[in-house]
Every structure is written in C-alpha cells, then in structure tokens.
Amino acid sequence: MNDPHLLIDIHDGIGWITVNRPVQLNALNAEILHALRAAMESLGANAEVRVVVLTGAGEKAFIAGADIRAMQAMDAEAARAFCRLGHACMSNIAALPKPVIAMVNGFALGGGLETALACDWIVAVEHAQFGLPEVTLGLFPGFGGTQRLRHAVGKARAMELIFTGRRLTAREAHAWGLVNTVVPAAELRNTVLDVARAIMANSPAAIRLAKRALLQGLNMGLSDGLHYEEEQFPKCFERDDCVEGLTAFVEKRRPVFTGK
Ligand code: DAK
C-alpha cells in the first residue's frame, strides 16, 4: 500500500484516496489498481472511516483511463490479467460496506469513468468530461463499463457513449442522471464534505444494509429484489443503531449512532 501514486488520508471520519499521477492524468496501471484495491480493503475495515472519497491529483483529471502505454505492451493473456485486476478493484469499490463518493475533478474517461461508476455518488466539477473512448483505441470498456453504464443511464444512452466514444460535459452527465451534483471548482471539496457529513449523520449500520440491498437488486428482477429487501429489512432490528434511532426519536433528541 506504499505506492507513491496513491495517497490516503483519514480525517474526521472520511477516508480520502487520491490517485496521484497527475502528469499522466492519473491513468491507471496495474500497480495503482493493486494499491487502490488494498486501500479500499483497509478503509472498508477501518471503523473510524464512515465515508470514502476517491479523487485524482491536480485540476485536470480525475482519471483519464487505463494506462494506454502499459496496454500497448500487452498480449491477450496479459490483457486478461489486467482486466481481471480492474474488475476486482471496481468490485471492491462497489462492495465496500460504506458509501464511496467520486470527487470528479476533471477528465473521467475510459477506466476513469468506470471507476466513478463503481462509486455510489458522483460530485463533479463544472469542467469535468465523461466518456468511454475505448473504441477509438480498438478496445471496448473492460473494467465493468458495458454493464455499469447501462445500469446508470439505460441501454440507448450507454450504446451512444460506447459506440461513438464521445465525451459528455459535466452538465450533460448530470442531465443524464450519471452525476449527482455539478459545482464550480472552488466549491468542489466543500460540496463533497457536505455530502459526506449528511451521510455521516445517519446510521452506518442502516446505510450498509441499504447499500447492499440496492446493489444486489441491480442483479435481480423487481420481485426478487423486493423479496431480498423483505429478507434484509428485519436485520436492522438486530443492530444497536436501530434501537438508538427509534429511542432518540421518542426521546426527542439527536441519535448517537455507533454503526453496530
Ligand atoms: N494512459 C496513459 N497516458 C495518458 C492517458 C492514458 N489513458 N491519458 C493521458 N495520458 C498522458 C498523455 O500521454 C500525456 O503524456 P505525455 O505525452 O505528455 O508524456 C499526458 O497524459 C497529458 O495528456 P495530453 O497531453 O494528451 O493532454 P490533453 O489536455 O491534450 O488531452 C485528454 C487530455 C484526456 C483528452 C487526452 O490525454 C486523452 O485523450 N487521453 C486518453 C483518454 C482515453 O482514451 N482514455 C481511455 C483509455 S482506454 C481492458 C481493460 C481496461 C480497459 C479496456 C480493456 N481489458 C484488458 C480488456 C480500459 C481502457 C481505457 O481506459
């Protein structure tokens, strides 16, 4: 986890992860993907961390994709290993038992958009651009983009972005429902802090269960998803947070959640 290309900082309940390769626009190589996976596992297991924020170093790029130079040297076998590593890393982000916010501070292209799509919430700067330009390179999205983009924006729009490789502005991405909020650069960090604090006021145990139910539901039809929710909901009542939340309401005070 001591990769200089990945910075980790824990502050006031928030685990900040910064992909730190600004000269190459934070392009993802295998080393960074390994480090990102380890960082997610570590912050996921750290009870001090209630929300994770993922961003890129510099003002130009969140992540401009998988490292094109590294891919140039790959044969099909090496590509399979790289693809598996990317999938494992994105799945780690998606399955983290706490919310992950993508603070998109610039280009989110190819593997960069796929990384943002694996997160739960996207706050983007006004000058951010989103796209899956893989087909312009003779590739197609290989870190989950064909699936997660369709879930996020539907088939027609996913086909449009993937077949043309065109970029969306932050405003377009917001209009498509891909991005939660778009803000000027000067407000990006504070907006993310506001989002994180709003989440952290609530029960971590309930959020963990809700996130799992929501994401599991994406793999199911509506009736199976509803059945899953019905199965999972009673688990809230086995958690201290639920007792605290209900009691605090009745006692007309703010709840103090422990996440247990
Ligand atoms: N990889 C490596 N280097 C990159 C890069 C990338 N994705 N993006 C930018 N860079 C480097 C540039 O090469 C340049 O380095 P130098 O030439 O100065 O050494 C430096 O970052 C600054 O970039 P530019 O000079 O190009 O900056 P501009 O402002 O002119 O343009 C740009 C910014 C973001 C529009 C442009 O850099 C660009 O188009 N970048 C590539 C974006 C892209 O195509 N991204 C998708 C990458 S493909 C798979 C697994 C994964 C994937 C696919 C398959 N399997 C194994 C099956 C995923 C693929 C991708 O993500």
Distance 88 CA to ligand 1 centre (A): 21
Given a cut of 60, is residue 1 above it in pLDDT?
no
| Percentage of the chain exceeding pLDDT 70 | 99
Query: Ligand 1: does its nearest atom lie under 6 Å from the Cβ of 137?
Result: yes
State the pLDDT at residue 42.
96
Residues 111 and 231 in one domain: no
Residues 240 and 111 in one domain: no
Instruction: Examine residue 257 and state whether it is found in any structural domain, yes or no.
Output: no
The closest-lying atom of ligand 1 relative to the alpha carbon of residue 68 is 1
Number of domains in the chain: 2
For residue 82, count other CB atoms closer than 10 A to its CB.
Answer: 22
pLDDT digits (tens, 9 = 90+) for 154-189: 999 999 999 999 999 999 999 999 999 999 999 999
Residues 185 and 214 in one domain: no
Q: State which residues form the domain around 142.
A: 6-200
Distance 27 CA to ligand 1 centre (A): 6
Instruction: Tell me which residue of 60, 74, 55, 91 sits closest to 215, measured CA to CA.
Output: 91
pLDDT digits (tens, 9 = 90+) for 38-84: 999 999 999 999 999 999 999 999 999 999 999 999 999 999 999 99
Residues 191 and 228 in one domain: no
Residues 152 and 217 in one domain: no
Q: How far apart are CA 97 and CA 9, in angstroms?
A: 19
Q: How far apart are CA 108 and CA 124, in angstroms?
A: 10
**Whether 126 is catalytic:** no
Q: How far apart are CA 33 and CA 67, in angstroms?
A: 11
Instruction: Examine residue 260 and state whether it is found in any structural domain, yes or no.
Output: no
Instruction: Examine residue 138 and state whether it is found in any structural domain, yes or no.
Output: yes
Q: Are strands 61-63 and 107-109 parallel, antiparallel or unpaired?
A: parallel
CB 104 within 8 A of CB 62: yes
Residue of the CA atom closest to atom 40 of ligand 1: 64
Residues 163 and 221 in one domain: no
Distance 111 CA to ligand 1 centre (A): 10
Instruction: Examine residue 258 and state whether it is found in any structural domain, yes or no.
Output: no
Residues 20 and 34 in one domain: yes
> Whole-model pTM above 0.85?
yes
Q: Mean pLDDT over all residues of the chain?
A: 96
Pick the catalytic residue: 114, 126, 160, 238? 114
Query: Ligand 1: does its nearest atom lie under 6 Å from the Cβ of 107?
Result: yes
pLDDT digits (tens, 9 = 90+) for 129-160: 999 999 999 999 999 999 999 999 999 999 99
Residues 97 and 219 in one domain: no
Instruction: Examine residue 259 and state whether it is found in any structural domain, yes or no.
Output: no
Residues 194 and 208 in one domain: no
Query: Ligand 1: does its nearest atom lie under 6 Å from the Cβ of 143?
Result: yes
Residues 189 and 215 in one domain: no
Pick the catalytic residue: 59, 134, 229, 230? 134
Residues 229 and 122 in one domain: no
Residues 80 and 105 in one domain: yes
**Whether 114 is catalytic:** yes
Residue of the CA atom closest to atom 19 of ligand 1: 24
CB 32 within 8 A of CB 57: no
